[in-house]
C-alpha cells in the first residue's frame, strides 16, 4: 500500500483494535508505516494515568510481532522508523531495561555518534531521551550542539518547532544557547505566514518558556498571525497563545474581536480552564468585552458545579474588577451563592477573599459568608499562606468591612479588628493621572481665583484619598481648604484618567466605582471629571467654564 494512503486510513481509525485489524489486512508494510502505527496506538491508548488497556495492546499478536521485528532488525531500520518506534514504545510504557528498548536505544546512539541523523531525527531522539531520563540526560547537550551546526535556513517549519520545544525543556540558564535562539528567531520571522495553528501556539509557548523578551518583531508577527487561527486553536493551544499575549504585554484589537466571535459560540463546549484563561486575559488587559462576559456568565450558570474552586474564582473575579453586571446577573450570583454554600471549605483562603472582594465592587454583598471571613481562624489561615497579610490583602479586608458598614447596616456579625485594618487604601490601578490633575487644578485656580480654596490628594479618616476637595459653608460659599469650622458641604472631585477605566471604554473599573460610591455614603458630593470630557478643552478658560458647570451647576457663569 502507498504510504500516503496508509497514513490517511490510519489517522481515521479511533481504537487500537481497529488499527490491529487494519495492519493484519496488509501483506507488507515499511518500517515507517509500522512505527507510524505504533505512534497512532500510543496517541489513542495513553492518557495522563498511563496505558488505558494494557492487556488489549501489549498482549495483542500483531503488536508483539511488530515489537519482535523492531527488536531483531534494528540495524536495518530507517532513521525515521527507528526513532518513531522508540518514541512510541516509550509512551506505551515498555520497560526501558527490555532487550527491545536496549537494542533501539543502542542503534540510535550509534547513528547519532556517526552523524547520520537529520534535524527531525535529532529532535525525535531528544524528545525520547527527555521522556526516559529527563533534562539532565548527558546526550541531550550533545544533540543541541549538533543541531547548532545545521543550516537553520533550510529547516522546515516542523523542524523549527521541534527544536524550540526541545530547547524549552533543556535550557537551564537564561543565556544558554542564546546565539542559536537569535538565529532561529530571525529565520522563524520569515516563515510566520506558513505556520499552522498548532505550530504558532507551540512557538509562542516556547518563546515564553525561554524568556525571549528581546524577540519583539517575532512575537508581534506571531500575535498578529494568531488572529486568523483563533477559530481553529484547540483549547490548550489557545491557552498558550493567551499566556504569550499576557507575558509579552501584547495587545491586538483584532485578536479580541476574534475571541468575541469564538467564545459566545463555544463557551458550553470549551474546557473551563480555557474559558478561565480568556477571562484572565480580559481582566489583566482591562478589556471589557460584553459578548465574552455575557457568554461566560451563561456558561457559569449552566456548568459551575463541575468547575474547580480556582476556575470558579477566575470566571467571576473579572466581573468585579471591570465593574460589569451581565444581563443574567441575578441568576449568576444566585448560582455563585449556591456553589459557595456547598463548597466553601474547599476554597483556598486567598482565592476566597479575592472572590468575595470582587463581588462587593459590583454591589453583590456576600453577607452570609462575612462572619467566616472576619473570624480569627480565617485570618490566621490567610496569614499562614503566601502572600500572608500583606498590604493588598489587608486593603481588601478593610474595604470589605467598610462596605458592610456603609452598605449593609443590617449586618450584625463579627467586625474586622483594628489591627487588620489599613489607614489608607492601596489602589494599584487608580493612581492619579498627574498631567490631568495639573490641568484641572489650573482650571480651578482660574475659577476660584486663589489656591487656598481647594486641596489636592486629601487623605480622609475613611481610608480613601480624595483627588481634589472643595469645602462650602451653609450658604454655598467656598471656604479655604484648611478651614475645619462651619463646613456644611464637602465636594470630592474625582479626576479620572484613562487608567481608571476599562480599555477603550467609559466604564469605570470596580475599585474606582466603589470608592466614589463610598465617598457619597460618607457625605461627600462626588463630582466626576473623566478624561474624555476634558481632553479637548483647549485653554484654561474653557476648562474653568467646564468645571463651573460640573461643580456649581445652579450658579451663574464666570464673572470674568
pLDDT band at 560 (very low <50, low <70, confident <90, very high): very low
| pLDDT for the residue numbered 187 | 97
Of 70-79, 104-113, 167-176, 306-315, the range with the lowest mean pLDDT is: 167-176
User: In the predicted model, what is the mean pLDDT of the chain?
Assistant: 93
Helices 510-521 and 349-361, packing angle to 10 deg: 60
Tell me the β-bridge partners of 489.
472
| Coil, strand or helix at 411 | coil
Among 49-53, 227-231, 241-245, which is the least confidently predicted range?
49-53
Q: What is the pLDDT of residues 319-364, one digit of tens each?
A: 999 999 999 999 999 999 999 999 999 999 999 999 999 999 999 9
| C-beta separation of 342 from 336 below 8 A | no
- Is pLDDT above 70 for 429? no
C-alpha Rg value of the chain to the nearest Å: 32
The model carries a pTM of 0.88
530: part of which helix (H) or strand (E)? Answer: strand 524-530
Cβ atoms of 204 and 168 closer than 8 Å: no
User: Per residue in 247-256, pLDDT tens?
Assistant: 999 989 999 9
Which residue, among 552, 551, 531, has the nearest Cα to 439 in the 3D structure?
A: 531
DSSP per-residue string spanning 191-233: HGGG--HHHHHHHHHHHHHTT-TT-HHHHHHHHHHHGGGTTT-
So what's the pLDDT on residue 136?
81
Among 47-61, 104-118, 423-437, the range scoring the smallest mean pLDDT is 423-437
What percent of the chain clears pLDDT 90, i.e. is strictly above it? 86
List the beta bridge partners of residue 266: none
Q: Is the pLDDT of residue 264 over 70?
A: yes
pLDDT the model gives residue 100: 95
- Which has the minimum average pLDDT: 63-67, 155-159, 172-176, 542-546? 172-176
Q: Is the pLDDT of residue 556 over 80?
A: no
pLDDT for res 284 = 96
Report whether pLDDT(428) > 60: no
In whole angstroms, give the CA distance from residue 31 to residue 15: 21
> Residue 46 in 3-state DSSP?
strand
Q: Which of 80-84, 167-171, 225-229, 483-487 has the lowest mean pLDDT?
A: 167-171
Neighbour count for residue 417 (Cβ, 10 Å): 12
Q: Is the C-alpha dihedral spanning 231, 237, 238, 240 positive or negative?
A: negative
Q: DSSP string covering 328-389, please?
A: THHHHHHHHHHHHHHHGGGS-HHHHHHHHHHHHHTT---TTTHHHHTSHHHHHHHHHSTT-S
Q: At residue 174, does pLDDT exceed 80?
A: no
The pLDDT of residue 427 is 62
Question: What residue has cell string 470596580?
Answer: 510
Give every CB contact of residue 55 below 8 A, 6+ residues apart in sequence: none
Amino acid at each position: 500500500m502507498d504510504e500516503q494512503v496508509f497514513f490517511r486510513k490510519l489517522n481515521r481509525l479511533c481504537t487500537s483494535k481497529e488499527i490491529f485489524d487494519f495492519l493484519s489486512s496488509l501483506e507488507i508494510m515499511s518500517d515507517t508505516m509500522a512505527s507510524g502505527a505504533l505512534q497512532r496506538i500510543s496517541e489513542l491508548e495513553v492518557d495522563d494515568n498511563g496505558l488505558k488497556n494494557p492487556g488489549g495492546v501489549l498482549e495483542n499478536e500483531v503488536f508483539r510481532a511488530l515489537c519482535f521485528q523492531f527488536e531483531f532488525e534494528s540495524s536495518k531500520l530507517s532513521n525515521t522508523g527507528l526513532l518513531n518506534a522508540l518514541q512510541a514504545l516509550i509512551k506505551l510504557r515498555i520497560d526501558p531495561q527490555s532487550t527491545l528498548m536496549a537494542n533501539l536505544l543502542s542503534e540510535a546512539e550509534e547513528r547519532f555518534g556517526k552523524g547520520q541523523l537529520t534535524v527531525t531525527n535529532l529532535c525525535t531522539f531528544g524528545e525520547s531521551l527527555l521522556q526516559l531520563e529527563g533534562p539532565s540526560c548527558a546526550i541531550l547537550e550533545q544533540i543541541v550542539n549538533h543541531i547548532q551546526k545545521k543550516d537553520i535556513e533550510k529547516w522546515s517549519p516542523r523542524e523549527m518547532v521541534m527544536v524550540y520545544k526541545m530547547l524549552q525543556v533543556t535550557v537551564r540558564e537564561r543565556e544558554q544557547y542564546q546565539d542559536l535562539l537569535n538565529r532561529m528567531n530571525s529565520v522563524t520571522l520569515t516563515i510566520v505566514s506558513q505556520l499552522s495553528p498548532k505550530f504558532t501556539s507551540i512557538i509562542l509557548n516556547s518563546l515564553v518558556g525561554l524568556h525571549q523578551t528581546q524577540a519583539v518583531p517575532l512575537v508581534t508577527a506571531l500575535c498578529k498571525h494568531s488572529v486568523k487561527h483563533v477559530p481553529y486553536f484547540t483549547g490548550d493551544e489557545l491557552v498558550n497563545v493567551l499566556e504569550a499575549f499576557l507575558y509579552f504585554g501584547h495587545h491586538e484589537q483584532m485578536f479580541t474581536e476574534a475571541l468575541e466571535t469564538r467564545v459566545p459560540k463555544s463557551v458550553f463546549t470549551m474546557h473551563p480552564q480555557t474559558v478561565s484563561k480568556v477571562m484572565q486575559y480580559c481582566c489583566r488587559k482591562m478589556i471589557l468585552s460584553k459578548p465574552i462576559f455575557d457568554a461566560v456568565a451563561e456558561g457559569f450558570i449552566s456548568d459551575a458545579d463541575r468547575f474547580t474552586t480556582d476556575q470558579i474564582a477566575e470566571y467571576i473575579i473579572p466581573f468585579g474588577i471591570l465593574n460589569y453586571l451581565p444581563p443574567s446577573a441575578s441568576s449568576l450570583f444566585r448560582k455563585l451563592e449556591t456553589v459557595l454554600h456547598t463548597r466553601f471549605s474547599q476554597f483556598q483562603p486567598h482565592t476566597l477573599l479575592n472572590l468575595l472582594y470582587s463581588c462587593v465592587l459590583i454591589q453583590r454583598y456576600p453577607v452570609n459568608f462575612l462572619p467566616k471571613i472576619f473570624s480569627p481562624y480565617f485570618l490566621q489561615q490567610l496569614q499562614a499562606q503566601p502572600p500572608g497579610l500583606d498590604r493588598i490583602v489587608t486593603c481588601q479586608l478593610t474595604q470589605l468591612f467598610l462596605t458592610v458598614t456603609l452598605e449593609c447596616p443590617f449586618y450584625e456579625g463579627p467586625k474586622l479588628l483594628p489591627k487588620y485594618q489599613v489607614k489608607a487604601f492601596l489602589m494599584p490601578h487608580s493612581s492619579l493621572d498627574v498631567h490631568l490633575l495639573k490641568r484641572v487644578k489650573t482650571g480651578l485656580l482660574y475659577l476660584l481665583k486663589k489656591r487656598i480654596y481647594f486641596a489636592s490628594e486629601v487623605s480622609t479618616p475613611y481610608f480613601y484619598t480624595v483627588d481634589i476637595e472643595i469645602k462650602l459653608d451653609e450658604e454655598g460659599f467656598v471656604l479655604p481648604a484648611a478651614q475645619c469650622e462651619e463646613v456644611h458641604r464637602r465636594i470630592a472631585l474625582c479626576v479620572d484618567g484613562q487608567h481608571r477605566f476599562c480599555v477603550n471604554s467609559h466604564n469605570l473599573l470596580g475599585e474606582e466605582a466603589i470608592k466614589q460610591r463610598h465617598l457619597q455614603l460618607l457625605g461627600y458630593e462626588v463630582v466626576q471629571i473623566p478624561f474624555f470630557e476634558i481632553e479637548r478643552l483647549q485653554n484654561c478658560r474653557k476648562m474653568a467654564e467646564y468645571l463651573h458647570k460640573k461643580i456649581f451647576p445652579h450658579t451663574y457663569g464666570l464673572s470674568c
